[in-house]
Amino acid sequence: MRRETASLHGHEISYITAGETGPVVVLLHGIAGCADTWSDVIDRLSDSVRIVAPDLLGHGQSAKPRGDYSLGAYASGVRDLTDLLGHERVTVVGHSLGGGVAMQFAYQFPEHTERLVLVSSGGLGRQVTPLLRAATLPFAEYVMPIGVNPRLRNAAQAVGRALPWLSDLMAPAAKEIARGYGSLADTEALRAFVHTCRAVMDLGGQRIDASDRLYLAAGLPTLIVWGARDRFIPVAHAHAAAALLPAARVEIFERAGHFPHRDEPARFAATLLDFFNDEHPATLSADMFRERLRLRG
């Protein structure tokens, strides 16, 4: 794996690349995450595919400007990055928020999308954990710094070291949650997090729901992966999406939570590779989407 940077519209974007041959696969992390969430998976994929895993704007090592943190803006940023790197057509794999971005990418740029993989994806139903809904409250950006105070984080880490059983109970997905939570101690990252939450959610749950547009993805090879123990976004969303996309492949990881790629990286990577090998890349076009829109009315 290599960490690299690119300048897009005056903002630095950090991303991981790996692999030299095979189809191009773009890995999109969830909210408050970064490309490192995919590290165990990238190690297992890079012999077979070429990986691009960006830190989305406002996350990780990428710039955190005051700007547009909507799904459409994220999807356009992913398209700009892949175009800059010379990748005309890609498979998009999105986790949580990244799943919403992946669907938006396929919606905005069908001619550039070969396959779609949704991992515990946002944007498929109303329900979402209250922890994220709270970030949409007024003045959340001023209240939340209390919760991510470095002294409090250090105290929590000390407790974890003193109680190994607690660390074992929470690992490995809890480490991912802790990393994301810890990143919010940075004022700019916290501001981007709140803006992103408000772009896709309100106090009642997710405001963005792609279910009414999934019919446009007919003919696009789609894989849905979910953890049966997901407490952030319920696994029922996977089954609801599959009902709207009968040709989609669905894999439920019974022992995994919201981070199946972290809980079971070997199985996750093998599932992706099987999907890539079995499903030939689609060739969609804006004209095809236009005809489906016309027929649907």
**Of the residues 29, 195, 258, 261, which is catalytic?**
258
Token code pair at residue 248: 């989609």
| Residues 58, 69 contacting (CB under 8 angstroms) | yes
Distance between CA atoms of residues 209 and 156, nearest Å:
36
| Residues 93, 24 contacting (CB under 8 angstroms) | no
Sign of the torsion angle spanned by Cα atoms 69, 73, 75, 80 = negative
The verdict on whether omega for the bond into residue 172 sits within 30 degrees of 0, i.e. cis, is yes
Distance between CA atoms of residues 39 and 33, nearest Å:
12
Q: At what angle do helices 97-108 and 71-84 cross, to 10 degrees?
A: 70
**Of the residues 96, 120, 121, 183, which is catalytic?**
96
Distance between CA atoms of residues 50 and 54, nearest Å:
13
Active site residue 258: yes
Among 230, 131, 256, 136, smallest CA distance to 181 is for 131
**Residue 166 DSSP symbol:** H
**Of the residues 62, 230, 237, 261, which is catalytic?**
230
CA distances from 111 to 5, 65, 95, 217, 231 (A): 26, 30, 22, 12, 35
Active site residue 168: no
**Cβ-proximal residues to 184 (8 Å cutoff; 6+ apart), any chain:** 32, 144, 145, 148, 190, 193
What amino acid positions are annotated as catalytic residues? 96, 230, 258
